[in-house]
Amino acid sequence: GAVVSQHPSRVICKSGTSVKIECRSLDFQATTMFWYRQFPKQSLMLMATSNEGSKATYEQGVEKDKFLINHASLTLSTLTVTSAHPEDSSFYICSASWGQVTEAFFGQGTRLTVV
């Protein structure tokens, strides 16, 4: 099956610093990657969709300068939370797909805590 690895699984950072989260497709080429944010007991909210080699498409209300997404290769996408604040603390999950999107495969998620 398709495997997606997300790293780190947990990170604690100080307010004002930046944090990078990596999402890798291990056994397939991911033409499309998705980044989600999830609050406790809530669903996954799509933040942005990224296609390899092009700029990410951000959902309404998501600050692209705050959440920098890079999808430089078919196996790696990164999400950088810049100048993190406590309200950015959340569970971030990536997923990857190929071709026409009919199914997505998920990473394990990253628990970000900003103190």
Partner 1 sequence: TQLLEQSPQFLSIQEGENLTVYCNSSSVFSSLQWYRQEPGEGPVLLVTVVTGGEVKKLKRLTFQFGDARKDSSLHITAAQPGDTGLYLCAGSPNTGNQFYFGTGTSLTVIP
Work out how close the CB of 102 gets to partner 1 at its nearest, in angstroms, rounded to a whole number.
5
**Cβ within 8 Å of residue 56, ≥6 positions away:** 48, 49, 50, 64, 69, 71
Work out how close the CB of 30 gets to partner 1 at its nearest, in angstroms, rounded to a whole number.
12
Chain centre to alpha carbon of residue 26: 16
- For partner 1, the closer of residues 43 and 115 by Cβ is 43
- For partner 1, the closer of residues 19 and 98 by Cβ is 98
Work out how close the CB of 73 gets to partner 1 at its nearest, in angstroms, rounded to a whole number.
19
- For partner 1, the closer of residues 7 and 83 by Cβ is 7
Work out how close the CB of 57 gets to partner 1 at its nearest, in angstroms, rounded to a whole number.
8
Residue with tokens 């990536």: 94
Binding site for partner 1 (CB under 8 A): 6, 32, 34, 36, 41-46, 49, 51, 57, 59, 91, 93, 95, 97, 100-109, 111
DSSP string, 56-115: PEEPTT--TTTEEEEEEETTEEEEEE-S--GGG-EEEEEEEE-SS-S--EE---EEEEE-
